[in-house]
Amino acid sequence: MSRQILRRDEEARVNYAELRNASFDELKSVAEKMRPLLMPKPGVDYRVYLSVKPSLAEGEELVTYTQSACPECYSLLTAVIFKRDGKVWIRKVCPEHGEFEELYFGDADMYERYRRYQVEGKGNVVTHVPLTALCPYNCGVCPRHKSHAALINIVATNRCDLSCYYCFFFATKSGFVYEPSLEHIRYMLRQARLTEPVKAPALQITGGEPTLRDDLVDIIRIAREEGFTHVQLNTNGIRLAFDPELAVRVRQAGVNVVYMSFDGVSPYTNPKNHWEVPYALDNLRKAHLGVVLVPTVIKNYNLTDVGKIIKFGLKHNDIVRGVNFQPVSITGRMPRKEREKERVTIPDVIAEIEKQTDGQIRKEDWYPVPSVAAISRFVEAVTGKPQITFTTHFACGAATYVWQENGEIIPITRFIHVDEFLSFLNEKAEEIEKGKSRKLALLEVVLKLRRFVDLDKAPRRLKERGKLSKMLVDIFLKHDYKSLGEFHYSTLFLGMMHFQDLYNHDVARVSRCDIHYVMPDGRQVPFCSFNVIQELYRERAQRAFSYTLKDWEKITGRSVFEDHYKRNIRKLIAGEAYRRHYEGIIDIDSIPYEDHVTASKRFGIPVVEE
Amino acid sequence: MKCFSLELKRKDPTPLDVKLTTSAFLVKNGEIVKLTGISREFQEADIIDFEREIGSVVGITYNDVVHGEASVKVEDIELHPRARVVKVLEVEERLTRRKTRYFIAVEVLESGERVIYSSHRAVKSSSELQALSKHLGVREKALKVLANQI
């Protein structure tokens, strides 16, 4: 198959038009040959300037030193993380491009609190690439990576029916089509299941827009065959809005939940899919397929909407399982003044949620992702089997659970003593690790569970027939997916995931990342290497295994430009579903039609009248 | 061949107060002999070797080192090709008073080194010395004595 590997101006590429019907073994062989050619090259793709240590000014308090990439040239730099004015900042100095300073975490006290929950992962015994370069230029996963993957992302296509102004990834802008064949997808998924001792159980099919693939159900089927027990579909929801059968088909094929972009409740804050979301939700309802809303939060754009987004989620809690806020990751290069208009971090969003929900969801209600490692540690001690453990960096994510009753929002912390419960689990796990009987420790946990629950303050639907106690007991006795699923069906999960960018990039966070992408050459790359150092990872790997636009048109008989969506706003806002979904959240009638149209067009989505 | 020793105290992102030492032993005719080399300060050029050994096996990376107050030393040991060496990494975590030993067996080649056996932080194995003995052709008893001596 080496004839398919071409080198154009030092760029390694395959002729994917020739590979599209290749067998698993052929694809594996090409991927293995391509892998070393696609790795970032020291001195060519990046330089190393670790001896330059940024200084601290008066009034700045050192938190720690770390490494970070230069936003201009990707050189690896020493960075300092420090406190100033109650916030945490990162600063680095590139000998070629000067100093960069960025907000790292918007609340220094919350940083200290979250840090207490950090747990170090045990890494992977089986990895995909040898250790030959410095972190983060050796991703694949390399043997020094600290966490095992909890969620694998696979890009099913870079074709997209939208052309959002800030996105660089879709086919019509990048100038190539990346769309791996089904056998290639199987190869990648098998690669993602290589790691030991813990294999990622969850897969997200993403894009581009994955619903553009006619063989999407085959991809889902393959994911199940390759051992993924949780499959989520990341989508803009446009196709789901117009094709009720699609929701049914993907549900039947094995999708557990849909991750749907949802940046705000109005056309101004969510020009991406404001008009289509109600119809997509109705179709998902009919298919009994739950959805997590995913708002990207930008300070001067939609930070004002975060409370309303939660209210929207609670209003449709019959089908909306969660809201996963993603504080903006700044793509491309941007001057500092511009960045300041956009930059928000996890504490900023949490503070705004507290304000916008009138204190019903307080900042103390949120816990950093690694806090739940105590549960995994206990289950691992009881079962003797390595468990999925969320050992990602504490600054990467946070979460809580809420319920709504008689208009009142009830966070989990109102009726479960979370800190005491987690400490208790850690204590029991340690006893087992030191030789105590597993059965005795488990019995003790089950018997004492009630001690950590204040049932009087719990939502009524959890109190009925001892539902909450039964659910918790099931989680610890059965420790299976179904028990956790039961819990998630009765609540609204609120998450926060701050993916990095070149300005706040921290190697300490990358090296602990547990959300990975599997690439066409079989490497498995942490999210914030894949998307942040995207020219060396995402872009290079996808381009290497891509069709030219011309080849794609010849093979499919369709131009990628034909995929682009045109919006009929008049029809969408006239529908009953539109009013039903937004009623009580926004004043629908106060928005002039012209505003709808302007919002859509400004975002890059054309509007049609017919 | 490089052997690393390290003392590191840090509080971000987790508190850590750790002392790591590496002892190297030459395996010859089924016997093991302690090796010594020349000690020097750690340099930037050592980072990848450090991460290949300490980062991969123990889980302490160069990024961890810069996160705290650290002293890293390197012992350079001269070896001939085809030499087989067993390295014993002892990690003392002072906060938990826990000591852990990791074993790495290496064969020296003309072009570098080849790892023929390695412990890993994610796997607890009660039969590790047995496996190591099989890989190196050394009696398990001799390895037990060695482990107890360190």
Nearest chain B CA: its distance from A410 CA (Å): 31
Q: Does residue A320 contact residue A281 with C-beta atoms inside 8 Å?
A: yes
Beta-bridge partner residues of A402:
A411, A492
Say which range, A74-83, A246-255, A439-448, B53-62, has the weakest mean pLDDT.
A439-448
Interchain contact, A115 vs B48, CB within 8 Å? no
User: Mean pLDDT over residues B5-26, rounded?
Assistant: 97
In chain B, what residues touch A508 (CB-CB under 8 Å)? 13, 63, 67
User: Tens of pLDDT along A132-160?
Assistant: 999 999 999 999 999 999 999 999 999 99
CA–CA dist A126, A582 (Å, integer): 49
CB of A197 within 8 Å of a chain B CB? The answer is yes
Residue A6 has pLDDT above 60, yes or no: no
- Structural domain spans, chain B: 2-149
A123 and B13 in contact by Cβ < 8 A?
no
Q: B124: Cβ–Cβ under 8 A, 6 or more apart, which residues?
A: none
Q: Which of residues 90-149 of B touch A (CB under 8 A)?
A: 120-123
Contacts of B59 in chain A (CB under 8 A): 120-123, 144, 146
Q: Give CA–CA dist B33/B105, Å, rounded.
A: 14
Both tokens of B22, joined, read 């590496």
- How far from A335 is each of A102, A179, A332, A502, A608, CA to CA, in Å? 11, 34, 10, 12, 36
Distance, in angstroms, between B68 CA and closest chain A CA? 7
pLDDT category of residue B150 using cuts at 50, 70 and 90: low
Please give the residue of chain B at the shortest CA–CA distance from A143.
B56
For residue B47, the chain A residues in CB contact (below 8 A) are 134
Q: Is the pLDDT of residue A487 over 90?
A: no
The mean pLDDT of A167-186, rounded to a whole number, is: 90
Contacts of A85 (CB under 8 A, 6+ apart): none
Which residues lie closer than 8 Å to A303 by C-beta, 6 or more apart? Answer: A297, A344, A348, A349, A352
Cβ(A234)–Cβ(A201) under 8 Å? no
Strand pairing of B69-76 and B2-10?
Answer: antiparallel
Facing residue for A123 by CB, picked from B13, B48, B122: B122
- pLDDT for res A5: 57
- Is residue A2 pLDDT above 70, yes or no? no
User: How does strand A290-294 pair with strand A320-327?
Assistant: parallel
Q: Letter for the amino acid at B147?
A: A
Quick one: CA torsion of A33, A38, A43, A45, rounded to 10 degrees?
A: 170
Q: What is the pLDDT of residue A1?
A: 42
Strands (E), A344-478: 367-368, 397-405, 408-411
pLDDT number for residue B130: 86
- Residue A468's pLDDT band, with cuts at 50, 70 and 90, is confident
Give me the pLDDT at residue A524, please.
Answer: 97
Q: What's the pLDDT score for residue B125? A: 76
The distance of A132 to chain B (nearest Cα, Å) reads 7
Q: Which of residues 10-29 of B touch A (CB under 8 A)?
A: 10-14
Which chain A residues are closer than 8 Å to B48 by Cβ?
A: 131-134
Dihedral Cα A108, A110, A116, A122, nearest 10 deg = -90
B56 touches chain A (CB under 8 A): yes
Q: Do B48 and A119 touch (CB under 8 A)?
A: no
**Does A7 score more than 70 pLDDT?**
no
- The answer to whether the CB atoms of A50 and B44 lie below 8 A apart is yes
- Are B13 and A115 inside 8 Å of each other by CB? yes
Residue A125 Cα, gap to closest chain B Cα (Å): 7
A127/A196 Cα distance (integer angstroms): 8
pLDDT score at B123: 85
HSE-CB of A40 using CA atoms within 13 angstroms: 30
Residue with the bigger pLDDT between A563 and A519: it is A519
pLDDT at A481: 60
> B39-77 b/e with 16+ CB inside 10 Å = b?
eeebeeebbbbbbbbbbbbbbbbbbbbbbbebebebbeb
Mean pLDDT value across residues A199-203: 96
Residue A364: helix, strand or coil by DSSP?
helix
Neighbours of A523 (CB within 10 A): 27
In a 3-state reduction of DSSP, which class is residue A431?
Answer: helix
A87-94 and A98-105 strand pairing = antiparallel
Cβ–Cβ < 8 Å for A263, A238: no
Q: What pLDDT sits at residue A339?
A: 93
Burial environment of residue A580 by CB neighbours within 10 A (0 to 12, 13 to 18, 19 or more): middle
Q: Do A131 and B68 touch (CB under 8 A)?
A: no
Average pLDDT over residues B98-114: 92
At A527, which amino acid appears?
F
Arithmetic mean of pLDDT, A375-404: 95
Reply yes or no on whether the pLDDT at A435 is more than 80: yes
Closest B-chain CA to A137: B48
For the cut 70, the answer to whether the pLDDT of residue A10 exceeds it is no
Which tens digits make up the pLDDT trace of A281-293?
999 999 999 999 9
SS3 A115: helix
Amino acid at B14: T
In tens, the pLDDT along A585-598 reads 999 999 999 999 99
DSSP strands (E only) in chain B: 2-10, 16-28, 31-34, 38-41, 69-76, 84-93, 98-109, 112-118
Q: Is the pLDDT of residue B112 over 70?
A: yes
Q: Give the residue-averaged pLDDT of B70-78.
A: 97
Task: Compare all CA atoms of chain B with the CA of A76 and give the residue at the minimum distance.
Answer: B63
Rounded Cα distance, A321 and A493, in Å: 6
Q: Is this model's pTM higher than 0.90 or not?
A: yes
Q: What's the mean pLDDT in A101-109?
A: 98
Per-residue pLDDT tens over the stretch A553-606:
999 999 999 989 999 999 999 999 999 999 999 999 999 999 999 999 999 999
Q: Which chain A residues are within 8 Å of B44, Cβ to Cβ?
A: 48, 50-51
Backbone angles phi, psi at A162, to 5 degrees: -110, 165
